[in-house]
Structure 1
Amino acid sequence: MQVLHTLKLILSLLPLILEAVRAIEAALPEGGQGAAKLALLRQTIEAAASTVTGGIGAFEQLWPAIERTVAAVVTLYNSTGAFKTAP
């Protein structure tokens, strides 16, 4: 049941993840900054999660699934040309 709960949570976060990835890319369009962009996304989501839940234990368990989802989104955006690299 934990897998189903995690899947539901990731799917509910997907619109937010899509929007956040696009916003970060728009703010920092330079290529080669993937690690910094991912760190910003993580810190943002972690801050919100700790505010709502009062702790980050659940976030730490969920982060690997979020990180893989972000990687899939970035790969899709890159392969479809949604992100244009800076000259």
Structure 2
Amino acid sequence: MSASPSSSEFEHPDLGTLQQAILQQVRDRGPSKSICPSEVARSLGGHHWQQLMPSIRQAGAALVKSGDILATQQGQPVDPLTRQKALSALR
């Protein structure tokens, strides 16, 4: 098994991989629950998770735009690129 890459060697997953990870976590959590974008970043990036946050937000925004999920804060819809938010399944 190889050593984990250094910060400069960390490869960001592509948009499709990020979107699939978001959708999987939303499905796993269930329709009445939400997830935090940082949970997805941590699951994919390990100790590099913070580097993934802008990409996770972009992937989440694309899923909101396509109608696959909702971005909410305190139960109210928000712009996923400008607000800290939870991601939940489209109801």
Q: Report the TM-score, using the length of structure 1 for normalisation.
A: 0.48
Q: Name the one with the larger helix percent.
A: 1
Q: Name the one with the larger strand percent.
A: 2
Q: Report the TM-score, using the length of structure 2 for normalisation.
A: 0.46
